Copies of this chain bind each other. A is one copy, B any other.
Amino acid sequence: MTTGQPHVVIIGGGFAGLWAVRGLASAKLRITLVDRGNHHLFQPLLYQVATAGLSAPDIAAPLRHILRAQRNVEVRMATVTGIDADTKRITLDDGSALDFDTLLLASGATHAYFGNDHWAEHAPGLKTLDDALDLRRKLLLAFERAEAATDPAEREAWLHFAIVGGGPTGVELAGTLAEIARHTLKDEFRNIDPAQARVRLVEAGPRVLAAFPEDLSAKAKRQLEKLGVDVALGTPVKEINADGYQLGDAFVPAKTVVWAAGVAASPLGALLGAPLDRAGRVQVQPDLSVPGHPDIFVAGDLASLTQANGKPVPGVAPAAKQMGGLVARNIRARLSGGKTSAFAYKDYGNLATIGRMAAVVDLGKIRFSGVLAWWFWLVMHVFFLIGFRNRLVVLLNWWWAYWSYQRAARIILGRGERR
C-alpha cells in the first residue's frame, strides 16, 4: 500500500460498505474498512439463525476473506468511538485514530424501543448474529421451561410467544415459530403439546407488511393464520415486562416477547454534525454526501434521502448495495476531477417470506403469493448469498428442513442464568 495515495475510510461492512469497497477495487487509493465484527452478515436470513434453521456461519463470511484479493483494502476489526468531520479523523476503541481524505459512514441501524428502553431486556430484537443466538436460546428454552412447569398458568405463559411488529422480520419470525411449534417439536415432549403454543403477531398499524400493496398484506395475513399465527392488528403494545405485555386494556401473560417493531439509525450518524431525520438518519445530499462535507458520504440504512419522485429510499438490502456502488463511483469521479452523480433507486420489487410454502412477491406490475412466491423467494435469497460454500450448505439445510420438518441448529448455546 502506498502511503501517498488518498485514504478512504469506510465504516461498516454491511451491504452498503462492502459494495462500496468492491466498487473501488481498481482505484488508486488506499481503503480501510472498519467493522465491529469480523464478518459480513447476510441479514435477510438472520431470522433463520434465530429460529434454529441455519448456523451462524452459514449466513456470514469473514470480511478479510471476502476482500483478501483486493490489495488496496485493509480490514480493521474495531469499534468507532469518535468522528471529527472537520479534522477528518476517526478514533477507535483500541485508542488509535485514522485520518481520512474521504469517509463513507455505513454503520446501519439498530433496534428502537420508542423511548421505552427498559423493554429491551424483556423483548430482545434481531440485528446481529449474537442477537440471533440469544433469541434462539430464548425460544428453545421457553419450551423446556414449559415442559418442566407444574403450574398450568406458568406453563401457558411459557407457551405464549408474542412478536411485536408486523414488518418482514416479524412476519418471518411468527410464521417460522408457528411451524416449529406445530411440526418440528412434535412428539418430543412428554408433559406439553408444543402445538398448543400460541404465536401472536402484534402490529399497531392496520395491516402487516405495510410496505406492500394492500392485497398482498391481506394475503400475508391469511397465510400467517393458516400457519397457526394469531394476528392482532390495530392495537399498540403499551408495556412489556418479565411477566408479559399490555395490549390495549388487557395484560397478557407471556414469557417470550420478541421486538421487531422499530429500527433507529446507528448513533454514529449524530457525530457528523449533519441534519438528522426523526429516526436519527443522516439527511444526505442527492449524491449521498453530507451537507457541507463533500468528502463525507453516508449510505445504507443510516442515510435518509427522498428521491426526485418524492418517494423515500427504503431501508432494504438492494438500496444499500446500490448506494454503496454509487458512493464508489462518486469517489472515483472526484479522484479524476469529475462530478458526482445523484442517487436513483432502482426498485426491482419487494418480497417477503412468511413460512413454509408461504410468501408474497411484489414486482410492480406482477404480484403473487403462496407456493410460487416462496420458491421465488428461496431462489433469490440463495442466489444472493455470498460465497459458494454458504449457498450449498444453506440449500442442503433447507432441503433437509423441508422434507423432515426438522431444524438443524436446535442447540442451546450460551451460559444462561440457570445453566
| Chain A residues at the B interface, C-beta cutoff of 8 Å | 1, 36-39, 52, 55-58, 60, 62, 64-65, 68-69, 74-79, 93-94, 96, 129-130, 133, 140-141, 144, 147-148, 150, 185-191, 389, 392-393, 396-397, 400, 404, 406, 408-415, 418-419
Q: A404 to chain B: which residues have CB within 8 Å? A: 389
25 A-B interface contacts by CB (under 8 A): A38-B144, A38-B411, A39-B410, A39-B411, A55-B55, A55-B57, A56-B409, A57-B408, A57-B410, A57-B411, A60-B411, A62-B411, A64-B188, A64-B189, A65-B410, A74-B191, A76-B148, A79-B419, A94-B148, A94-B418, A96-B150, A129-B413, A389-B400, A389-B404, A392-B400
Tell me the number of copies of this protein: 2
Bound complex: CA A77 to CA B141 (Å): 9
Bound complex: CA A264 to CA B354 (Å): 49
Bound complex: CA A30 to CA B34 (Å): 57
The smallest beta-carbon distance between A130 and chain B, in angstroms, is: 6
Q: A412 to chain B: which residues have CB within 8 Å? A: 37-39, 77
Q: A1 to chain B: which residues have CB within 8 Å? A: 190
User: A188 near B65 (CB under 8 angstroms)?
Assistant: yes
Known contacts A148-B78, A409-B57; A414 and B130 CB within 8 A of each other: yes
- Greatest chain B CB density within 10 A among A55, A76, A191, A415 is at A55
Q: Which of B62, B65, B187, B413 contacts A69 (CB 8 A)?
A: B187
Q: A62 to chain B: which residues have CB within 8 Å? A: 188, 410-411
Q: A37 to chain B: which residues have CB within 8 Å? A: 412, 419
User: B396 near A38 (CB under 8 angstroms)?
Assistant: no
User: A140 near B418 (CB under 8 angstroms)?
Assistant: no
Q: Which of B77, B190, B410 contacts A74 (CB 8 A)?
A: B190
Considering only CB atoms, which chain B residue lies closest to A66 in the complex?
A: B188
User: A144 near B77 (CB under 8 angstroms)?
Assistant: yes
Q: Which of B77, B93, B393 contacts A408 (CB 8 A)?
A: B393
Bound complex: CA A140 to CA B64 (Å): 12
Q: A406 to chain B: which residues have CB within 8 Å? A: 65, 389
Q: Which of B36, B68, B147, B396 contacts A188 (CB 8 A)?
A: B68
Q: A57 to chain B: which residues have CB within 8 Å? A: 52, 55, 408-411
The smallest beta-carbon distance between A385 and chain B, in angstroms, is: 13
The smallest beta-carbon distance between A117 and chain B, in angstroms, is: 18
Taking A37-B412, A55-B57, A57-B411 as given, write out 14 further A-B residue pairs in contact, using a Cβ cutoff of 8 Å, ordered by the A residue number.
A1-B190, A39-B411, A57-B408, A60-B411, A62-B188, A62-B411, A75-B188, A77-B148, A78-B148, A94-B418, A96-B148, A130-B414, A389-B408, A393-B397
